[in-house]
Amino acid sequence: MTDVPRQWRSVLPHLGQPLPPDRTPHSAGRNGSVQANLPMELVRQSVQSREYWDIPEEVADAYRRFRPTPLWRARAFEKEVGARVPIWVKYEGGNISGSHKLNTALAQAYYYHRAGVRELVTGTGAGQWGTALAAACARFGIRCTVFMVGGSLERKPYRGVLMRMLGARVISSPSTLTEVARSGRSGGNSLALAIGEAVEYAARTDGAAFCIGSGETYSILHQSVIGLEAIDQLAEQGGEVDAVVGCVGAGSNFGGIALPFHARAAAEGTAPPALIAAESSTTPKLTRGVYAYDRTDATGSSPLEAMYTIGSEYAIPDSHSAGLRYHGAAKLISALRHAGQVSATAVDQVAALAAGRAFTTTEMTLPAPESGHALAAAARAAGDGDADGDAPRARTGVLVCVSGHGYLDLGAYQQFLEGELTDRAPDPAAITEAVGGLARIDAPVNTAAAPGRPAVPTAGTAGRAAGRAADLEEAR
């Protein structure tokens, strides 16, 4: 019987070279930069090449309420999609937040609470991260303020209700509370703007700290419990996989399921499985973006990070990909993509919801639309091909992470069933304009991108509080 992991596992010792350092943005002035209030343990987890990190007992105790999470072979789904090899599913939807986000929310709330922070402020897209942080703050006795992308909040009002049930203050973004929203510098319903509002609000609120749930190296570390459990569960059930699939917004879900497999292979000197990132076709940072330094939020005051990005200024088309609608990918995921160790595929929302419906009717589990992107990519990997235009290849098995449930996303499935959804292709000229002024990173020696298609990893969103070189040196 698989136990809850006692340690997180980091992939940093197996990268071969350090991650590109963050850069101070030109717009960060004395009064405009984000305050360095990240707990030092989170900084250490982001920069030290230690492979194993003990999970604090208070966090482990909270994990035991919902972990280990189920893993099963999806035989009926395999038949429905015409898979040629087994598809194994790791399901992360069985907790109060309905997603994998609670894994890092609990860890972060614990460290911030120990550091004396009285309020955590964040931005959320689909609301899963906001819900997870609200639950974690309730657990550790911290106030919580959540800026949620307005379009998502309108479509998913019960996400807001659940966050308020957990004691959080929920604010629709764009709001009237922040200069970054009032200025209109980063327009529309975007996760970057919601994050920017949270950054600004936290910076001016006594006792508050900004907190992010996905792209940071430490949040990906906390999510390693997913892949570590999956490795043990596959061994128990006699399963073999040579492809691991997860959906990508900024990258914590994908990193959580995939990177423990990469770390194990590197430590053992064996070939790793294919690591396949499934992104939304409305936000194709890994398949159509560039590898460059870009902003992680709309304030322009946070450190610039090396990421695959379609540009923080790009107006992302509306879609039910929700939590995947972030302009960049985590710097850790981006670096692996740049080195050719991660491949990527873009999935339309109609295809994602079709895969979600197929999974619902065959496996009796309703996935979030974000997870539908991963299921569509897994079906492809188990059938005709992988990503980046790959040709069909022989496989032994595919592991896919279903990152959350879809019970608060039934409006999206209703539109799908009634034939009301269409897919809007990104505007190549708009992407070119959005990335035009970014500082590019040298072309990789080895890339997994298809011919003629640039590959881009994107940045996470938390290095902002760890920007001081002295703190980083101390942490090392």
What pLDDT, in 10s, does the model give residues 356-397? 999 999 999 999 999 999 999 999 999 976 666 555 566 899
Residues 76 and 208 in one domain: no
If one counts every other C-beta atom within 10 angstroms of the C-beta of residue 468, the result is 13
How far is CA 441 from its chain centroid?
22
Residue 476 has pLDDT above 70, yes or no: no
Note the pLDDT of residue 422.
86
311-332 burial: b if 16+ Cβ within 10 Å, else e: bbbbbbbbbbbbbbbbbbbbbb
Residues 288 and 423 in one domain: yes
Residues 183 and 248 in one domain: no
Q: How many domains does the chain have?
A: 2
- pLDDT band at residue 470, thresholds of 50, 70 and 90? very low
Note the pLDDT of residue 191.
77
Residues 276 and 413 in one domain: yes
Strand 87-91 with 398-402, pairing: parallel
Is residue 115 within 8 A of residue 100, CB to CB? The reply is no
Q: State the burial class of residue 41 (Cβ atoms within 10 Å of its Cβ: 0-12, 13-18, 19+).
A: middle
Last residue of a domain, one of 193, 213, 233: 213
User: Does any domain span residue 123?
Assistant: yes
Residues 342 and 357 in one domain: yes
User: Does any domain span residue 50?
Assistant: no
Residues 197 and 183 in one domain: yes
Residues 269 and 400 in one domain: yes
Closest to 83 in 3D by CA, of 358, 276, 450: 358
CATH number of the domain encompassing residue 110: 3.40.50.1100
User: Does any domain span residue 463?
Assistant: no
User: Does any domain span residue 32?
Assistant: no
Residues 429 and 281 in one domain: yes
The strand order across the sheet containing 290-294 reads 305-309, 290-294, 439-440
Domain carrying residue 150: 102-213
203 or 191: which leads in pLDDT: 203
Strand 290-294 with 274-280, pairing: unpaired
Residue 256 has pLDDT above 70, yes or no: yes
Residue 465 has pLDDT above 50, yes or no: no
| Tokens (6 digits) for 22 | 């963050």
Strand 71-73 with 274-280, pairing: unpaired
- Across the chain, mean pLDDT equals 87
User: Does any domain span residue 333?
Assistant: yes
Note the pLDDT of residue 425.
81
User: Does any domain span residue 326?
Assistant: yes
| Tokens (6 digits) for 346 | 């873009």
Cα separation, 34 vs 37, in Å, equals 9
Note the pLDDT of residue 388.
61
Percentage of the chain lying above the pLDDT 70 cut? 87
